Amino acid sequence: MSPHYPTDVEDTMSRFFDSLPERERRHYAAVEAAKLGRGGTSYLAHILGCDEKTIRRGKREQIAVSDLPSERSRKKGVDGNR
């Protein structure tokens, strides 16, 4: 059985997704896809109007962030002001 949210929830998710900056869009979509499990990536790509590659990239980025020590928010030597 493929995942499915009610239409009003899909609309709310889509509006929220559109309000986010690019990086947060990827992460939000990745979290939602993980909650849905099998078929979640393609379903969310459809309702959010994004590419499945965007969601997969968000998943990879979340894994990379989880590999950082808990007291750090980015890798050593990375400057967020560039």
**Residue ranges of domains in the chain:** 7-66
Confidence of residue 4 (pLDDT cuts 50, 70, 90): confident
Give me the pLDDT at residue 75, please.
Answer: 58
Q: How far apart are CA 54 and CA 46, in angstroms?
A: 12
Q: What is the DSSP letter of 75?
A: -
Q: pTM above the 0.85 mark?
A: no
Q: How many of the other CB atoms lie within 10 Å of CB of 58? A: 24
pLDDT at position 67 over 60: no
Torsion-angle region of 10 (φ positive above 0: left; ψ -120 to 50: alpha; else: beta): alpha
57-64 average pLDDT score = 87
User: Which residue has better confidence, 80 or 18?
Assistant: 18
The answer to whether residues 58 and 24 touch, using CB atoms and an 8 Å cutoff, is no
